[in-house]
């Protein structure tokens, strides 16, 4: 039994005694009908104080000994109490309500809603005194005592309510009608009573309003659910617009009577003293009660009006929380949006908090809520004004779409001038359509896993890309994203089982199975584009944290994913059955299911919950991040999808396989095609229905040896990466994009120039004329003409055929020449496009900056207009009140200042227009400079290609194992299989610019620069060129092939210099002398180690201090800079140079990889501490201040496993 169940806290003495004897029944004192002292109460803000005074006076007149309490709804920093308040006044703070919470309620609720939200708190506070509380609305007047009506209240029946009507309303078209009664509620909240025993009702009421303070449902209608209650059916209680037509009101000497009963209270809701001819202005269109037909009721209303005037009513006062400190009235829909933001924890501070000027709230309200509002120049405030105004909704049905221009014009003009819209809420005008750049490139729209894989493939293809519709070809990874007109839209989706949008020109799917499925459904055949496998190393720290959160230690965890929207296809229940079949008698296994779509599909969610509730080994995870948690904690992933569901699951399974997690999946559809038998443990099945027993066998085999399962996942990941490499995906994407671009260009050219755009078409048409035969049958005056023509044609036939052959040869030659000219022209255009792509991107950036400046100018003009309209509105308000206000001089002074402000605004508009003109001139100048730069860039690239060709020609036969590249160090030759440095320098001028800049700043003219791990000599050649023969460079490289390329690069790029300028050490720098194993490195060169490698060779190892001390060329010279680029062997290389490091104290620039150091069996923290014992402090490259070893390791580990840091070992005491 839990604490939430009945009887959990029952004392043992309450249990029946042994033997079944029942104890004697406890005797309780008889219940008393007396509810204690009577207390009247009302909730009112300052705008309703006259009505509250009338209510208090009438209540105390008929209940002389009773208390009357007013809850004054006002902010904590409000002005002192006005005169004439009831004797006892409470404020929200007296009820335990914090000032900030009350201020947020004041923004979230209307006047009626705020009173409703505070009413249960007030009643709870008053019930603590033990009396009966009679709660009223401010618009009630009391005409007789209530004591006898409330005598029946008791602890068992602690609530008394008043029905609005005692008989059904007639369906005669008059108001209020049955619909109004249903909306307002059957019981009238303007008058009801509670006494001790009603606390459960008040607590439930308070909880309901705390969850939704703006709830407009009639709360009293559900009172019977919580407590027993008494209905006061006395016709003299609660006379109102709902029941006045049903009750006969008479005036007698001792007061008014309704249907013969003494009139005790009347509810004047909707009554306005300015319109005393209406009982309620809320139903003024077809009132059920006409005061002209009921003089007694008219006299009652006249008396109430007189009482209001005597209580201080002069005119209708605004609700104090309707208006911001700046004077703008809060639209009601904005209150609802603020309440939603408050519930989500994103709401700004309330403008009614003590000391607040409302600036934070105004900034939030005047900002756009989403991208659509931002694009249309809208804001939360303008959206709320539109939503609350039926006329605006009719005139501007789509204010942030097709009608954005007209609605924005209304906001900047009428909206600001009328005071309904703050000037700050008027954003810049609707955004213009994104610029289109006619060049080969691709725009990628969307986010998520699919968009990430598409971006990876595009990056591998080398195509220019953007995240907006900047290029003609658009790859859309989310089907609902809007795309500007005039683009070639390609929808990329895992499957093609959805309706193709109208603007889609082409569809890409990930597998042949998805393409076949789409063709079977009648859709146009999509293209199959295989994307790369997402690669990611597993994070053991994150995985352990997730497992700890799920209370998992050494259990074998099986992960699965369930989308309740595709319940049958995902077959999560099949995964549960397979798990239970595999591990029926084991407790050291867990099934983790990440479920989504529970809110939209509650039936499917409940079915899965019920199926797994009895098995504690099955854990259901829901909410954001559930799938990521399952993937991080799982030892394998199970997917027993049916039929075509694999097309939807394939991305998730590829992500799992890319992270090294083994996958068990059905052997059909896209999963079987993309993974294959080597990429996943495939479950056989018939007709797309996986075999549960076979899946159980596979799971059981993985769980028997978790370590082997982990190794299997790593092998599978490597296999999938090799089968689906990024380069292959990039080539496929590039081919499809180029074809799409040509298709778009053809359509664009057709639309722009018509169907006769082919320049060769007239020549082709003319060529057909050579095949026409002469018409000898044309009529003539001479009857012999046709016969003579035939004879001449036969006689000259040979000559005619010769002439035709000559003409055909001429036309063929002209056509071939023209075709060749066109071909060369197109090739030149393609080359020009590739050559100026970067410059065009720069020009586009300049264009965007200029457009942003122009937009800022336009925004300034719009705001100036809004400010001007705001000032005109204020001027009109001042002029309208200047005749009656005694402060005419102050108003005149204020008008003068406003006039000056208007003049300044006009001057500001002139300045903005001048800036706009200057911005146009700057844009034209930037475009002209861009064209010149593009031409210069094209010539530069042509010269670069010529230089490379001449170099190849002059150097003789090209080395097939190397490739030339032009960079800041000169013309270098690198290994052709280099996967890092060669591709980088092919598209960039320099490598590791921060390291190079640091080395240049540390070089000394007569010092020694040591390059450990020199590779092909990039830094060696670069430093030799900068020293100019004044210093010495020592290059250390164990790879003979790289050393040959280094010598070649030095010979080609460094002019002849005196001997001793370059010292070559063809060995591995180590902390001892001997031999080391070597194997080819993935980034080029070799990787050395102290253990024997499976493939590779042996290289000599030397201590550099002994090697360099004995070299003749280095005698009398000191080390100035040591550059070490050997990965995780940096501490071993520097350990062999320690004597010279302590002697010369050079600066050391190195690569530091903690994970590689750990693979050698060394501790990275100990290595860093050893650097400190040598007299060095740790400075990351790019910084000037040193860091501690712990901070450095923490930063590297937080960046991810395998991360390398460029480190400057700066001698202690040196600042540069």
CATH number at residue 561: 3.40.50.2000
For residue 1014, which of 1044, 993, 982 has the smallest C-alpha distance? Answer: 1044
pLDDT of residue 9: 38
**Position 159 pLDDT exceeds 90:** yes
pLDDT of residue 33: 39
783 in a domain, yes or no?
A: no
1179 in a domain, yes or no?
A: yes
**Long-range contacts of 186-189, Cβ-Cβ distance < 8 Å, separation of 24 or more:** 186/218, 186/220, 186/221, 187/161, 187/162, 187/163, 187/218, 187/220, 187/221, 187/223, 188/161, 188/162, 188/163, 188/164, 188/238, 188/240, 188/242, 188/267, 189/116, 189/119, 189/137, 189/218, 189/219, 189/220
The angle, 0 to 180 degrees and rounded to 10, between the axes of the packed helices 99-108 and 111-127 is 140
pLDDT tens by residue, 562-617: 998 888 888 899 999 999 999 988 999 999 999 998 888 999 999 999 999 999 99
Whether residue 340 is found in the same domain as residue 201: no
Give the number of domains in the chain: 6
pLDDT of residue 474: 92
760 in a domain, yes or no?
A: no
Whether residue 206 is found in the same domain as residue 76: yes
pLDDT of residue 562: 92
pLDDT of residue 1148: 93
pLDDT of residue 884: 45
User: How much is the average pLDDT of 406-421?
Assistant: 88
Using DSSP's 3-state secondary structure scheme, residue 586 falls into: coil
User: How much is the average pLDDT of 109-130?
Assistant: 91
pLDDT tens by residue, 233-265: 999 999 999 999 999 999 998 899 999 999 999
**Position 13 pLDDT exceeds 60:** no
Dist CA 284 CA 1052 (whole Å)? 99
10 in a domain, yes or no?
A: no
pLDDT of residue 30: 36
Whether residue 145 is found in the same domain as residue 95: yes
Lowest mean pLDDT among 56-65, 411-420, 428-437, 501-510: 428-437
**pTM value?**
0.50
Whether residue 246 is found in the same domain as residue 395: no
Question: What does the CA dihedral 342, 348, 349, 352 come to, rounded to 10 degrees?
Answer: -80
**Position 1183 pLDDT exceeds 60:** yes
732 in a domain, yes or no?
A: no
Whether residue 304 is found in the same domain as residue 366: no
519 in a domain, yes or no?
A: yes
**Position 1 pLDDT exceeds 60:** no
| All residues at 6 or more sequence positions from 831 whose CB lies less than 8 Å from its CB, including other chains | none
pLDDT band at 1127 (very low <50, low <70, confident <90, very high): confident
1216 in a domain, yes or no?
A: no
Whether residue 1111 is found in the same domain as residue 1001: yes
Whether residue 158 is found in the same domain as residue 112: yes
Whether residue 938 is found in the same domain as residue 860: yes
Neighbour tally for 166: CB within 10 Å: 14
Domain that holds residue 560: 540-724
Strand partners, 594: 561, 621
pLDDT of residue 69: 95
- C-alpha 854, offset from chain centre: 28
Dist CA 320 CA 339 (whole Å)? 19
pLDDT of residue 961: 76
pLDDT tens by residue, 602-657: 999 999 999 999 999 999 999 888 988 998 899 999 998 886 555 667 888 888 88
Whether residue 73 is found in the same domain as residue 212: yes
Higher pLDDT, 945 or 156: 156
Does residue 424 contact residue 877 with C-beta atoms inside 8 Å? Answer: no
**Of 479, 499, 528, which closes a domain?**
528
**Of 310, 345, 363, which closes a domain?**
310
Whether residue 553 is found in the same domain as residue 611: yes
Give the pair of three-digit tokens for residue 500.
């193709």
pLDDT of residue 852: 59
pLDDT band at 17 (very low <50, low <70, confident <90, very high): very low
Using DSSP's 3-state secondary structure scheme, residue 251 falls into: strand
Higher pLDDT, 107 or 832: 107
**Position 22 pLDDT exceeds 80:** no
For residue 139, which of 364, 263, 307 has the smallest C-alpha distance? Answer: 307
pLDDT tens by residue, 316-330: 888 889 988 878 899
**CATH code at 1020?**
3.40.50
Dist CA 691 CA 688 (whole Å)? 9
**Position 383 pLDDT exceeds 90:** yes
Whether residue 996 is found in the same domain as residue 1125: yes
For residue 36, which of 128, 116, 122, 109 has the smallest C-alpha distance? Answer: 128
Whether residue 504 is found in the same domain as residue 630: no
pLDDT of residue 592: 95
805 in a domain, yes or no?
A: no
pLDDT of residue 236: 96
pLDDT of residue 772: 60
């Amino acid at each position: 039994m839990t604490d939430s169940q009945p009887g959990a806290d029952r004392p043992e003495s309450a249990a029946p005694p042994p033997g079944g004897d029942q104890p004697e029944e406890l005797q309780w004192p008889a219940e008393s009908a007396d509810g204690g002292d009577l207390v009247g109460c009302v909730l009112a803000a300052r705008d309703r104080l006259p009505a509250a005074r009338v209510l208090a006076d009438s209540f105390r007149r008929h209940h002389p000994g009773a208390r009357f309490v007013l809850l004054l709804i006002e902010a904590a920093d409000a002005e002192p109490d006005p005169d004439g308040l009831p004797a006892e006044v409470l404020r929200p703070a007296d009820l335990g309500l914090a000032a900030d919470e009350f201020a947020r309620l004041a923004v979230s609720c209307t006047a009626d809603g705020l009173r409703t939200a505070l009413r249960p708190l007030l009643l709870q506070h008053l019930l603590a005194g033990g009396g009966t509380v009679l709660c009223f609305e401010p618009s009630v007047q009391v005409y007789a005592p209530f004591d006898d009506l409330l005598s029946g209240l008791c602890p068992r029946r602690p609530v008394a309510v008043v029905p609005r009507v005692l008989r059904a309303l007639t369906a005669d078209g008059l108001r209020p009608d049955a619909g109004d009664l249903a909306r307002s509620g059957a019981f009238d909240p303007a008058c009801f009573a509670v006494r001790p025993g009603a606390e459960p009702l008040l607590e439930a009421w308070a909880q309901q309003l705390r969850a939704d303070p703006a709830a407009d449902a009639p709360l009293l209608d559900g009172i019977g659910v919580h407590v027993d209650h008494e209905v006061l059916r006395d016709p003299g209680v609660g006379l109102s617009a709902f029941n006045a037509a049903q009750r006969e009101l008479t005036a007698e000497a001792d007061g008014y009577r309704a249907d013969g009963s003494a009139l005790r209270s009347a509810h004047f809701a909707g009554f306005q003293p300015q319109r005393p001819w209406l009982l309620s202005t809320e139903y003024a269109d077809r009132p059920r009660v006409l005061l002209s037909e009921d003089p007694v009721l008219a006299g009652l209303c006249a008396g109430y009006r007189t009482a209001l005037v005597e209580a201080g009513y002069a005119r209708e006062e605004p609700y104090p929380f309707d208006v911001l400190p700046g004077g703008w009235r809060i639209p009601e829909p904005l209150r609802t949006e603020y309440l939603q933001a408050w519930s989500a924890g994103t709401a700004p501070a309330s403008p009614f908090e003590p000391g607040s000027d409302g600036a934070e709230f105004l900034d939030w309200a005047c900002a756009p809520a989403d991208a659509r509002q931002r694009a249309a120049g809208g804001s939360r405030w303008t959206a709320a004004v539109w939503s609350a105004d039926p006329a605006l909704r009719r005139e501007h049905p789509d204010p942030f779409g097709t009608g954005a221009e007209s609605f924005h014009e209304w906001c900047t003009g009428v909206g600001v001038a009328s005071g309904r819209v703050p000037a700050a809420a008027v954003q810049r005008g609707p955004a213009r359509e994104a610029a289109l750049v006619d060049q080969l490139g691709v725009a990628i729209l969307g986010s998520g896993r699919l968009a990430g894989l598409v971006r990876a493939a595009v990056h591998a293809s080398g195509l220019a890309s953007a995240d907006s519709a900047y290029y003609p070809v658009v790859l859309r990874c989310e089907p609902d994203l809007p795309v500007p007109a005039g683009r070639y839209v390609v929808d990329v989706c895992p499957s093609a089982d959805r309706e193709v949008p109208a603007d889609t020109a082409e569809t890409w799917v990930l597998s042949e199975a998805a393409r076949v499925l789409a063709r079977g459904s009648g859709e146009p055949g999509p293209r199959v584009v295989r994307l790369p496998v997402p690669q990611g190393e597993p994070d053991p720290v994150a995985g352990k944290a997730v497992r700890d959160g799920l209370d998992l230690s050494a259990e074998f965890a099986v992960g699965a994913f369930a989308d309740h929207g595709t319940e049958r296809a995902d077959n999560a229940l099949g995964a549960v059955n397979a798990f239970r079949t595999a591990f029926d008698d084991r407790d050291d296994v867990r099934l983790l299911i990440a479920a989504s779509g529970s809110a939209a599909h509650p039936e499917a969610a409940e079915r899965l919950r019920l199926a797994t509730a009895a098995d504690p080994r099955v854990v259901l995870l829901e909410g954001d991040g559930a799938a990521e948690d399952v993937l991080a904690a799982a030892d394998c992933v199970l997917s027993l999808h049916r039929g075509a569901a694999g097309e939807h699951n394939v991305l998730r399974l590829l992500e799992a396989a890319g992270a090294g997690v083994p996958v068990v999946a059905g052997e059909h559809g896209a999963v079987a095609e993309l993974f294959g038998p080597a990429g996943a443990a495939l479950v056989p099945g018939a007709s797309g229905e996986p075999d549960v027993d076979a899946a159980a066998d596979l799971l059981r085999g993985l769980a028997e040896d978790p370590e082997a399962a982990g190794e299997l996942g790593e092998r599978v990941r490597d296999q999938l990466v090799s089968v689906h490499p990024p380069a292959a995906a990039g080539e496929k994407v590039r081919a499809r994009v180029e074809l799409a671009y040509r298709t778009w260009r053809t359509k664009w050219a057709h639309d722009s120039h018509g169907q006769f755009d082919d320049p060769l078409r007239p020549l082709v048409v003319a060529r057909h004329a050579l095949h026409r035969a002469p018409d000898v049958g044309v009529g003539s005056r001479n009857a012999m003409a046709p016969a003579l023509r035939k004879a001449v044609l036969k006689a000259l036939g040979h000559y005619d055929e010769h002439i035709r052959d000559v003409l055909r040869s001429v036309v063929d030659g002209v056509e071939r020449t023209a075709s060749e000219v066109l071909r060369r022209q197109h090739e030149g255009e393609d080359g020009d496009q590739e050559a100026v792509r970067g410059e065009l991107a720069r020009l586009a950036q300049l264009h965007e900056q200029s457009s942003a400046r122009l937009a800022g100018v336009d925004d300034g003009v719009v705001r100036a207009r809004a400010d001007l309209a705001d000032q005109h509105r204020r001027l009109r308000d001042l002029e309208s009140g200047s005749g009656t206000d005694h402060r005419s001089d102050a108003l005149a002074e204020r008008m003068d200042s406003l006039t000056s402000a208007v003049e300044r605004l006009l001057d500001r508009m002139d300045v903005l227009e001048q800036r706009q003109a200057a911005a146009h001139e700057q844009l034209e100048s930037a475009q002209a400079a861009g064209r010149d730069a593009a031409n210069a860039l094209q010539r530069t690239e042509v010269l670069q290609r010529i230089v490379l060709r001449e170099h190849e020609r002059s150097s003789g036969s090209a080395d097939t194992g190397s490739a030339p590249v032009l960079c800041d160090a000169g013309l270098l030759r690198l290994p052709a299989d280099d996967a890092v440095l060669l591709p980088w320098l092919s598209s960039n001028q320099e490598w590791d610019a921060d390291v190079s800049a640091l080395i240049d700043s540390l070089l000394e003219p007569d010092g020694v620069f040591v390059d450990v791990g020199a590779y092909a000599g990039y830094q060696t050649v670069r430093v030799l060129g900068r020293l100019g023969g004044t210093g010495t460079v020592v290059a250390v490289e164990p790879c003979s092939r790289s050393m040959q390329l280094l010598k070649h690069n030095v010979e080609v790029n460094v002019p002849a210099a005196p001997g001793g300028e370059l010292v070559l050490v063809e060995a591995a720098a180590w902390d001892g002398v001997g031999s080391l194993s070597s194997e080819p490195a993935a980034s080029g060169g070799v990787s050395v180690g102290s253990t024997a490698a499976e493939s590779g060779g042996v290289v000599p190892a030397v201590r550099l201090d002994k090697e360099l001390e004995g070299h003749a060329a280095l005698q009398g010279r000191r080390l100035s800079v040591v550059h070490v680029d050997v990965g995780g062997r940096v501490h071993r290389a520097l350990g062999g140079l320690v004597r010279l490091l302590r002697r010369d104290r050079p600066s050391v620039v190195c690569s530091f990889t903690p994970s590689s150091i750990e693979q050698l069996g060394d501790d990275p923290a100990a290595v860093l501490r050893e650097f400190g014992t040598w007299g060095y402090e740790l400075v990351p490259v790019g910084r000037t201040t040193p860091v501690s070893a712990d901070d450095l390791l923490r930063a590297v580990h937080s960046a991810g496993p395998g991360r390398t840091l460029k480190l400057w070992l700066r001698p202690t005491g040196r600042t540069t």
